[in-house]
Amino acid sequence: MSRIVSTRLVKRFGAENTVARTLMYLAVGFAVFVSFLLALPEPTPPVTAETLENPPPEVSFAIVGAKVFDGESFLPNQDVWVENGRIHRIGRELDVPTDLARVDGRGRTLLPGLIDGHVHTFYGTLSDAARFGVTTVLDQFTDPRLAASKRAARDTLAPGNEADLFSAGMLATANGGHGTQFGIPVEPLSGPDDASAWVRARKAEGSDWIKIIREDGSTVGRDIPTLDQDTVGALIAAAHEEDLLAVLHVSTLEHALEAVALGADGFMHVWRDAIIDEVQAARIAAAGVFVVPTLSVTASFGENSMAPELLEAAGGAPLSPMQRQTLASTFSNSSGETTSSVALENVRRLREAGVRLLAGTDAPNPGTAFGLSMHGELRLLQRAGLSTAEALSAATSTGAEAFGIDDRGRISEGRIADLILVDGDLESDLSLSTRILAVWKDGYPIDRYRLDQERQQTTPAPSAAPETTVIADFENGVRANFGFGWQVTSDQFQGGSSTARLSAENAVLRVEGEVAAGLAFSWAGAIYFPNAQPMQPVDFSDRDTLRFRARGDGRTYHVMLFGADAGASAPPSVPFTTSAQWSEIEIPLARFPTATPGLIAGLAFVAQAPPLGSFLFEIDDVEIR
């Protein structure tokens, strides 16, 4: 058939003519096809730092035609005018000066910077948070010195790459209780009589509120010393006396209800042991107590980690080594599927009862990452029955108001211009929250794409090593001649359950404890931080040897050296053996291969598995020569 057709054509036109015409049609057709593709609509280019032409200090611009989530509800087609780092005006078709820099908001959603209601801050984490739109974190336990060092930044409107930090500082717990295992200094309380002085000391240190631990380990099948009811009550009363909020870590419904009766202001987790009934939920609502359910950490507790979903959604902004590491890690003592469903059901019932809910992640616990996990928490809150607007309120205005931080959390006149612009209509699909086009902190755009540059900015230059070569001789207890000093270190921070205790007896450092099964890599021991800030490097490049004396129970121990890039990879370690006799141990620093030789951020002396079980060793006269 086709042959006949073509033969006829050849007869009528001549073959060459037909070939030429066919080729011409093809060429024209192809040209039309290509020009059609060239004419197809392109997205408006993403907002970058360069879009804003007015340099500091006058941070003024307008976002026009955006859908705005104002902290409570969605408003279509709004203009938001930012003047000197604060929201100047918001409304439809504002009379914005023509010379003001403009950002096209059409087809996009503008929302207040997110407020993570539960984090534990370390160096570098605040910029990790900001890159993903979390412009304020409410820290529920960190080193008070770290919190103090960040206070100036939150009180000024200045360019920076970090989230603002509000913090409880040190937490209130029993001797050996939850919170003492992380190597961060804690002053435990022994009874209600300690409460008043303890709270005053926190206020003097700069704690923004008081965080109290009521945790006996029962939900994870462990027996942990905990503050008793009377001490918790005394702490709450003392906090209120000092005009501070008192928030609690509880894991059981019973402890939560007990704390409500004692006047607690908020809970930093939702309990996972039982489902609350209507009467109990109404009691919490009536007391005005807020709850930060931290469904993110509960999800990874119950092996439903949001990590895979979040890694997929992360988009173009880079994850720091710490974010990758914490997202990838898991709890060793999983409590199974049920805990997350119990937590979700509790949240559903609390919402129905009208209890104030705040979004919080408990980053950097296993399965979470600073910043990114807030977007997972939004999704989890929605799965617990919150509407899109309710989930976003929990992540913005509710947190600001619950903790009395009234200058943020909403897009309204006079508030700080902490803003996120996302691509698309967030109201119709909450999961678009990770499609971030721009984040502004105090009206300044945050560079979300340059992790390395930012790390250089936030990591101070290494301190010079002091004159003395002797780190510690333990003549005056567990002390060092310079630096942050000695801390317990163990796998507990990664979810393990190994323990260690440090003491100085007869002018030597005694390290004892137990390496417990749990993680693939279990360890416990002592760590020394040479810099005034933990895990910040000191330049020892003019030294070449680590020397110390050691004796012990005969097992093999390890020295781990943390370099300038601590956290990016496993630290190099060198073994040493102990016996009942003291022995001199010398290790050339060259045996610890790190990225930048000579820089030391931490030295750990640890027992590693295998074997499991208890250990005891002593070290003395630690020197870097």
Partner 1 sequence: MQATNAGAPRPPLSRRASIYVLEARAEFLTLARMPAFTVPTLLFPLMFYAFFGVVMKFSPSAPTYLLATYGVFGLMGPSLYGFGVGFANARDSGQLLLKQTTPMPVAAYLAARIATALVFGMAIVISLFLLGAYAADVTLYRWQWFALAGIVLASVIPFCALGLAIGAWVKAQSAVAIVNIVYLPMAFLSGLWMPIALLPSFLQKLAIVFPAYHQAQLTLKVINMDQGGSAGGHVLIIGIFTVIFLVIAAAGFRRVSQR
Of the two residues 111 and 245, which places its CB atom closer to partner 1 in the complex? 111
Minimum distance from residue 263 beta carbon to partner 1 (Å): 45
The continuous run of DSSP H or E covering 34 comes out as helix 15-39
Binding segment for partner 1 (CB under 8 A), chosen from 143-151, 169-177, 401-409, 426-434, is: 426-434
Q: Does 41 participate in binding partner 1 (rule CB under 8 A)?
A: yes
Number of Cβ within 10 Å of residue 443's Cβ equals 26
Q: Mind giving me the DSSP string for 135-172?
A: EEEEESS--HHHHHHTHHHHHS----SS-EEEE--SPB
42 forms part of the interface with partner 1 (CB under 8 A): yes
Cβ proximity to partner 1: between 425 and 623 the closer is: 425
- Residue bearing tokens 């419904």: 253
Tokens 């004892």 map to which residue? 512
Write the binding mask 44 to 63 for partner 1: x where contact by CB under 8 A, - elsewhere: x-------------------
User: Any idea which residue has 């066919």 for tokens?
Assistant: 22
- List the one residue from 11, 40, 461, 584 that touches partner 1 (CB under 8 A): 40
Whole-number minimum distance, CB 50 to partner 1, in Å? 18
Phi-psi bin for 146: left (phi > 0), alpha (psi -120 to 50), beta?
alpha
Q: How far apart are the first and last CA of the chain?
A: 94
Please give the Cα distance from 260 to 513 (Å, whole number): 37
* Distance (Å, whole) CA 466 – CA 470: 10
* Max CA pair span of the chain: 114
Stretch that binds partner 1, among 1-9, 71-79, 338-346, 481-489 (CB under 8 A): 1-9
12 binds partner 1 (CB under 8 A): no
382 belongs to the binding site for partner 1 (CB under 8 A): no
Q: 3-state SS of the chain: helix, strand, coil percent to 5?
A: 30, 25, 45
Residues 428-457 as x/- pattern, contact with partner 1 by CB under 8 A: xx--x-------------------------
312 near partner 1 (CB under 8 A): yes
Q: Tell me whether residue 254 or residue 425 sits nearer to partner 1 (CB atom).
A: 425
Q: Out of 18, 330, 458, 469, which residue is the one contacting partner 1 (CB under 8 A)?
A: 18
Nearer to partner 1, 25 or 521 (CB): 25
Per rule CB under 8 A, is residue 23 in the interface with partner 1?
yes
Choose the stretch contacting partner 1; rule: CB under 8 A; options: 86-94, 228-236, 274-282, 424-432.
424-432
CB 605 within 8 A of CB 511: yes
* Between 132 and 209, CB nearer to partner 1: 132
The stretch near partner 1 (CB under 8 A) out of 223-231, 248-256, 398-406, 422-430 is: 422-430
Residues 6 or more apart whose Cβ sits within 8 Å of residue 69: 75, 109, 110, 111, 112, 389, 392, 396, 411, 426, 427
Name which position in 16, 50, 223, 243 contacts partner 1 (CB under 8 A): 16
**Chain Cα centroid distance, residue 376:** 13
CB nearer to partner 1: give 5 or 580: 5
Nearest to 270 by CA among 237, 245, 294: 294
Q: Are 186 and 488 spatial neighbours (Cβ–Cβ below 8 Å)?
A: no
Residues 383-402 that bind partner 1 (CB under 8 A): none
Nearer to partner 1, 39 or 580 (CB): 39
Residue 152 touching partner 1 (CB under 8 A)? no
Out of 242, 390, 407, 425, the only residue in the binding site for partner 1 (CB under 8 A) is: 425
Question: Does 15 contact partner 1 by CB under 8 A?
Answer: yes
Total interface residues for partner 1 by CB under 8 A = 31
Is 1 an interacting residue with respect to partner 1 (CB under 8 A)? yes
> Element (H or E) spanning 366, and its range?
none
Sketch the per residue contact string, 565 through 604, with partner 1: x for CB under 8 A, - otherwise. ----------------------------------------
3-state secondary structure of 117: strand
Asked if 471 and 481 count as a contact pair (C-beta separation under 8 A), the reply is yes
Please check whether residue 606 is in contact with residue 558, taking contact to mean a CB–CB distance below 8 angstroms.
yes
Which CB atom, from 41 or from 610, has the smaller least distance to partner 1? 41
Query: How many C-beta atoms surround the C-beta of residue 388 within 10 A?
Result: 19
Please tell me whether residue 36 binds partner 1 under the rule CB under 8 A: yes
Contact 331, 222 (CB under 8 A): no
Tell me which stretch binds partner 1 (CB under 8 A): 22-30, 148-156, 247-255, 524-532: 22-30
Kindly tell me which of 130 and 432 has the beta carbon lying closer to partner 1.
432
Instruction: Closer to partner 1 by CB, 201 or 313: give it.
Output: 313
Which residue number, 422 or 550, has a Cβ lying nearer to partner 1?
A: 422
Among 27, 28, 31, 33, binds partner 1 (CB under 8 A): 33
Q: In whole angstroms, give the CA distance from residue 344 to residue 338.
A: 10
Q: Does 330 help bind partner 1 (rule: CB under 8 A)?
A: no
State the number of CA atoms in the 13 A half-sphere of 54 facing the CB: 17
Site for partner 1 in 70-109 (CB under 8 A): 107
* CB nearer partner 1, residue 58 or residue 429: 429
Compute the distance between CA of residue 315 and CA of residue 266 in angstroms, rounded to an integer. Answer: 34
Count Cβ atoms within 10 A of the Cβ of residue 590 and give its class: 0-12 exposed, 13-18 middle, 19 or more buried: exposed
SS (H, E, C) 302-362: CCCCCHHHHHHHCCCCCCCHHHHHHHHCCCCCCCCHHHHHHHHHHHHHHHHHCCCECCCCC
Site mask, partner 1, residues 102-141, x = CB under 8 A? -----x----------------------------------
Using CB under 8 A, which of 38, 152, 279, 590 touches partner 1? Answer: 38
Helices of type H across 180-302: 195-205, 229-241, 253-262, 278-286, 295-301
Distance of alpha carbon 612 from alpha carbon 381, whole angstroms: 40
The upper half-sphere exposure of residue 116, i.e. CA atoms within 13 Å in the direction of its Cβ, equals: 39
Identify the residue among 3, 152, 467, 570 touching partner 1 (CB under 8 A): 3
Which segment (14-22, 199-207, 539-547, 570-578) binds partner 1 by CB under 8 A? 14-22
Q: Is 572 helix (H, G, I), strand (E, B) or coil?
A: coil
Cβ atoms of residues 90 and 412 within 8 Å: yes
Q: Which of 11, 12, 37, 506 binds partner 1 (CB under 8 A)?
A: 37
Dihedral pair phi/psi, residue 25, rounded to 5°: -55, -45
- Residues near partner 1 (CB under 8 A) are 1-3, 5-6, 9-10, 15-16, 18-19, 22-23, 29-30, 33, 36-38, 40-44, 107, 312, 424-425, 428-429, 432
